Every structure is written in structure tokens, then in C-alpha cells.
Amino acid sequence: MLTHSLIPDATVLAILLAVADTVLAQRKRRKHTRRAHA
């Protein structure tokens, strides 16, 4: 894995967690908006 030699594991995990949080937040917001409209 070239990424391991170029980027520390801590930063990779932080980025993955940030992306996951944003995706989950968007899904939750979309569900709430759909429920509100419905």
C-alpha cells in the first residue's frame, strides 16, 4: 500500500471518520426532511 508510506494511519482514519459522519448526517437529514414533507 503506497498510501501507508505517504500518509500516516491517524490521518487516514480521521478522514474516513469525517466522511462517514458527513454521509450519515446527510442520510439522517434527508430522512427527516422526507418525514416532515410526508
Summarize pLDDT for 13-36 with one digit per residue, the tens: 999 999 999 999 988 877 666 666
The domain segmentation of the chain, as residue ranges, is 2-37
pLDDT at 1 exceeding the cut of 60? no
pTM over 0.85: no
Q: What is the pLDDT of residue 27?
A: 87
Separate counts of helices (H) and strands (E) for the chain: 2, 0
pLDDT at 5 over 90: no
Other beta carbons within 10 Å of 3: 9
Q: Are 26 and 34 in contact (CB under 8 A)?
A: no
